[in-house]
Chains A and B, each alone.
Chain A
Amino acid sequence: MKRLLLLFLVIILLLLGFYAYRLYTGRVPSLTTVDAEISVSTTDLIHAFNTDSAGANKKYLGKVLSVNGNIKSIEKKSATVVLGADNISTAIRCSMDSNFVTALAGLKENENVMIKGVCTGYIPDDSGLGLGADVVMNRCVIEKNIK
């Protein structure tokens, strides 16, 4: 009887362990542990989408990118770092990983930065209001703050 109870306990523990393992491994991983597939400069990435968005989608969509370039603005409220230049309306909007939101405090406009994120695509400016088009990156982490 005791043995049966012990066996039962072991099985339950194993099941719990398996469940915890699945729960942990099933999570979307932080990009800190993932290598970038493509390294590209802000200027080149913007140019690629502006000139041939279909081709750029094929190359960059869904890929982990390491992008380096100038910080155009920082939007604390939405935890977004905008990369680009003042004289180009298209920008790269990097939505930060929730664990990296505090790192925003260490960034300044017009400094260079290297950000790793998943490219989720391109939203052209079809509002006709001059909002500028955007390349969007998600789950972003800061790789290097180049002063």
Chain B
Amino acid sequence: MMNRISILLTFILTAYGVNGQDKYFTKSGKINFYSVTPLEDIAAANASAVAVLDTKSGSFQFSILIKGFEFENEEMQEHFNNDYMESDKYPKAEFKGQVLNTSAVNFKKAGNYPVQVKGLLTLHGVTKDIQSTGTIKVDGNALRANSTFNIQVADFNIIIPKLVRDKVAKSVKITVDTSLEPLKG
């Protein structure tokens, strides 16, 4: 009898253990953006994104603070916050979506797996559908989720003044790079 209980207990505990490994997160995800024009290249980096991936359901989301983007040049950073992104009014951007083909990823085997991501990006108070490709790298207990996509500045009601219109790209490249660890629950 005792033996059966202990087998049952082991079974339940292992099941829970496996369950606990479904969710991965980071609070120091890196999100960069690049605006490239013949006149000027602008880059900014943010290393404090909160990202969560559920390997079972495929749900992937991240939140990021607009004021956390760092530029080389102070003036650019001020324009970005005050004029374009209005970060006092819209302090946060977020993505809520889905990795469409988690079944193609073997989370138990090290490797790089190409994935497709789809979801809603909310930026500057506007929510838009985003679809992109990315990679999930499985490395032991840790995951690394990467993606690069372009957004049209005008789609998010971001208005670039005429004076600098040639210096800021209409289409801006966003890179997402998150090193995720298992959530201990």
| Chain A interface residues (CB < 8 Å from chain B) | 26-29, 57, 61-62, 75, 77-78, 80, 93, 95, 118-123, 126-127, 129-131, 134, 136, 138-139
Contact between chains at B72 and A131 (CB < 8 Å) = no
List 9 additional A-B contacts (Cβ < 8 Å) besides A62-B87, A136-B65: A62-B81, A93-B27, A120-B67, A122-B91, A123-B65, A129-B23, A130-B185, A134-B27, A136-B68
| Chain B interface residues (CB < 8 Å from chain A) | 23, 25, 27-28, 47-48, 50, 52, 61, 63, 65-68, 70-75, 77, 81, 87-88, 91-92, 183, 185
What is the distance, in angstroms, from A15's C-beta to the closest C-beta of chain B? Answer: 19
Q: Which residues of B contact A131 (CB under 8 A)?
A: 25, 27, 50, 52, 183
Residue in A closest to B69 when the chains form the complex, CB atoms: A120
Contact between chains at B71 and A28 (CB < 8 Å) = yes
What is the distance, in angstroms, from A22's C-beta to the closest C-beta of chain B? Answer: 9
Count of A-B residue pairs with CB < 8 Å:
82
Partner of A78, one of B28, B70, B185: B28
Partner of B25, one of A26, A27, A129, A138: A129
Q: Which residues of B contact A29 (CB under 8 A)?
A: 74
CA distance A61 to B185 in the complex (A): 32
Q: Which residues of B contact A126 (CB under 8 A)?
A: 63
- Given A78-B28, A129-B23, A130-B185 in contact, is the A28-B48 Cβ separation under 8 Å? no
Q: Which residues of B contact A121 (CB under 8 A)?
A: 65-68, 91-92
Q: Which residues of A contact B71 (CB under 8 A)?
A: 28
CA distance A129 to B66 in the complex (A): 23
Q: Which residues of A contact B28 (CB under 8 A)?
A: 75, 77-78, 80, 95
Partner of B73, one of A28, A75, A78, A120: A28
Q: Which residues of A contact B72 (CB under 8 A)?
A: 27-28
Partner of A127, one of B61, B66, B88, B92: B61
Residue in A closest to B183 when the chains form the complex, CB atoms: A129
Contact between chains at A123 and B63 (CB < 8 Å) = yes
Partner of B91, one of A26, A57, A75, A130: A57
